């Protein structure tokens, strides 16, 4: 079989591989991709991935999304070699791994009252597996796949928010490395998908300025206040310098996405401002995406 030639618009065929922990939102992600024009298939056995992709190629299907989960756990060792082979042949393939905290997953399973795929008793096991134990087993089974994927932490995300993030990720034009800048509130937990986490709670807080409290870091008043603080400028410059130094190494390591999380107390002022500022500084040099976990949840 031949390599994957560029399409008429200069891009290549692409496959989005949706994986992750049960209850983390894979169905929501797959529906978002379907709405974005992808041909979607759920729970495809990994052994069939290559044949399926080539079949859709013959049908002139440019964009395909495939969901693979722990229900085919016995076949997962076959998946990573297939991903490598297709990538070496020139196919643009994006593994997306949806994850969530154990507390969030337990809450979701309790609300839906659906059993975890690994909770049923298996041969040699007495009785059903407890939910938390099933979740931890699933994390172990999928750990290698997670390391090879772009991770999205859905613990704090509403379905509409997840759909927006998925569309943003797949909408980025083909590039060597995409930078994702994300603001968050430490009191809501550190994002599981972060590659780097910077704590900016030591910086002056606009929350304590009465007229700035209801605003966010995207507003001119908050930005002007923070830009006037030398330590804020110094923090932004040091983070930017750090990233500029190490980004070439990530590109050489064939990384497609790098998530930089900036956290403050409430995820409203300081972290939001720094995410906006850092993203502007890298536009033109790298594809960039902006996420505001707490602010986006209010929209």
Q: How does pLDDT run across 262-279, given as a tens digit for each residue?
A: 999 999 999 999 999 999
Residue pair 217/296 in contact by the 8 Å Cβ criterion? no
pTM for this entry: 0.72
Q: Lay out the sheet containing 39-42: strands in order across.
A: 39-42, 63-67, 14-20, 92-99, 150-153
Report the chain's terminal Cα–Cα distance, integer Å.
Answer: 47
pLDDT at position 9 is 43
Structure-block tokens of residue 219: 């507003």
Residue with the larger pLDDT of the pair 80 and 260: 260
- Please state, in angstroms and rounded to a whole number, the distance separating the CA atoms of residues 15 and 95: 8
Largest CA distance in the chain: 66
- Please state, in angstroms and rounded to a whole number, the distance separating the CA atoms of residues 82 and 87: 8
Length of the chain: 299
- Please state, in angstroms and rounded to a whole number, the distance separating the CA atoms of residues 44 and 39: 13
- Please state, in angstroms and rounded to a whole number, the distance separating the CA atoms of residues 250 and 265: 29
- The kind and range of the H/E element at 110 are helix 102-112
**Residue 119 binned pLDDT confidence (cut-offs 50, 70, 90):** confident
Look at the alpha carbons of 282, 286, 287, 291 in this order and tell me if their dihedral is positive or negative: negative
**Residue ranges of domains in the chain:** 14-171, 178-298
The residue whose two tokens read 């929209």 is: 299
Residue 111 has pLDDT above 80, yes or no: yes
Q: How does pLDDT run across 188-233, given as a tens digit for each residue?
A: 999 998 999 999 999 999 999 999 999 999 999 999 999 999 999 9
**Shortest CA distance to 223 belongs to which of 161, 163, 271?**
271
pLDDT at position 13 is 66
Q: What is the mean pLDDT of residues 159-178?
A: 80
Q: C-alpha angle with apex 3: 98 to 284, nearest 5 degrees?
A: 60
Q: C-alpha angle with apex 188: 187 to 190, nearest 5 degrees?
A: 95
The residue whose two tokens read 């993030």 is: 165
Residue pair 187/207 in contact by the 8 Å Cβ criterion? no
Burial bucket for residue 254 (CB in 10 Å: 0-12, 13-18, 19+):
exposed
pLDDT at position 230 is 97
pLDDT at position 117 is 85
Q: C-alpha angle with apex 248: 245 to 253, nearest 5 degrees?
A: 130
pLDDT at position 299 is 67
In CATH terms, the superfamily for domain 14-171 is P-loop containing nucleotide triphosphate hydrolases (3.40.50.300)
What's the mean pLDDT when you consider all of the chain?
Answer: 86
Q: How does pLDDT run across 19-37, given as a tens digit for each residue?
A: 999 999 999 999 999 988 8
What are all long-range contacts of 122-131, with beta carbons under 8 Å and residues at least 24 apart? 131/106
Structure-block tokens of residue 206: 């606009």
pLDDT at position 219 is 97
């Amino acid at each position: 079989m031949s390599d994957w030639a560029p399409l008429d618009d200069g891009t290549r065929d692409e496959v989005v591989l949706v994986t992750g922990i049960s209850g983390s939102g894979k169905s929501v992600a797959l529906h978002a991709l379907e709405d974005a024009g992808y041909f979607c298939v759920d729970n495809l056995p990994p052994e069939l991935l290559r044949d399926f992709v080539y079949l859709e190629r013959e049908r002139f299907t440019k964009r395909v999304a495939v969901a693979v989960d722990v229900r085919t756990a016995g076949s997962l060792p076959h998946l990573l070699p297939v991903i490598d082979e297709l990538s070496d042949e020139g196919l643009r393939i994006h593994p997306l791994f949806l994850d969530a905290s154990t507390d969030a997953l337990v809450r979701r399973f309790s609300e839906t009252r659906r059993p975890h795929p690994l909770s049923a008793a298996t041969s040699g096991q007495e009785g059903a597996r407890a939910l938390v134990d099933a979740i931890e087993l699933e994390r172990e089974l999928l750990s290698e796949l997670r390391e090879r994927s772009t991770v999205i932490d859905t613990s704090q995300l509403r379905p509409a928010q997840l759909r927006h993030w998925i569309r943003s990720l797949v909408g980025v034009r083909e590039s060597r490395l995409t930078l994702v800048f994300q603001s968050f509130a430490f009191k809501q937990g550190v994002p599981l998908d972060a590659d780097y986490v910077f704590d900016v709670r030591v910086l002056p807080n606009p929350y304590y300025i009465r007229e700035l409290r209801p605003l966010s870091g995207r507003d001119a008043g908050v930005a002007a206040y923070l830009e006037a603080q030398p330590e804020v400028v110094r923090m932004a410059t040091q983070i930017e310098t750090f990233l500029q130094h190490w980004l070439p190494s990530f590109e050489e390591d064939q990384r497609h996405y790098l998530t930089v999380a900036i956290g403050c107390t409430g995820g409203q002022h300081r972290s939001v401002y720094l995410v906006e500022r850092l993203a502007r500084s890298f536009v033109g040099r790298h594809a960039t995406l902006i996420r505001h976990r707490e602010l986006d949840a209010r929209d």
